[in-house]
């Protein structure tokens, strides 16, 4: 079976997304969730690790915490950037307060911090809040 591997952000199942079909129509074979909906999804550490390791589609992660003012300011900008990359890149958020092991695992020293993953490894990292246009430019350059 050919296609791009992509992890469902709802149930964690690895799926194959057909190359010849629009990414916007791809759904998880297990739970039926859309795989490339252009929205930001909150994930836990296990789902992040699985997606970063297995997915053929680029993944951008925002490491954040609810008490962080710049994180709150950047959240709507991150969502705008996600919408502008719909069908090409997936955007997720990981709460480092709820998942302290993630901060250690990915060596997060300050938040917000974004990391871009592709092909099983981290390709780029950027700390600090940014507007949507700057996030989009960074994503395009990084992946």
Would you please indicate which residues are annotated as catalytic (active-site) residues? 68, 71
**Rounded to whole angstroms, how far apart are CA atoms 55 and 143?**
13
Q: Taking each helix axis from N to C terminus, what angle separates 132-142 and 69-84, rounded to the nearest 10 degrees?
A: 60
Q: Which residues pair with 111 in a beta bridge?
A: none
Cα atoms in the Cβ-side hemisphere of radius 13 Å centred on 101: 5
> What is the three-class DSSP state of 8?
coil
Question: CB within 8 A of 94, min separation 6: which ones?
Answer: 42, 43, 44, 45, 48, 61, 62, 63, 64, 102
């Amino acid at each position: 079976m050919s296609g791009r591997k992509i992890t469902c952000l709802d149930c964690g199942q690895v799926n194959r997304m057909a190359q010849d079909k629009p990414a916007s129509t791809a759904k998880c074979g297990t739970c039926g969730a859309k795989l490339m909906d252009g929205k930001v999804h909150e994930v836990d550490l296990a789902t992040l690790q699985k997606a970063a390791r297995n997915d053929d589609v680029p993944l951008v992660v925002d490491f954040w915490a609810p008490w962080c003012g710049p994180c709150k300011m950047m959240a709507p900008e991150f969502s705008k950037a996600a919408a502008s990359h719909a069908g090409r890149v997936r955007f997720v958020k990981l709460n480092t307060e709820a998942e302290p092991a993630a901060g250690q695992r990915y060596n997060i020293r300050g938040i917000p911090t974004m990391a871009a993953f592709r092909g099983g490894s981290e390709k780029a990292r950027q700390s600090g809040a940014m507007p949507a246009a700057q996030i989009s430019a960074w994503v395009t350059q990084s992946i």
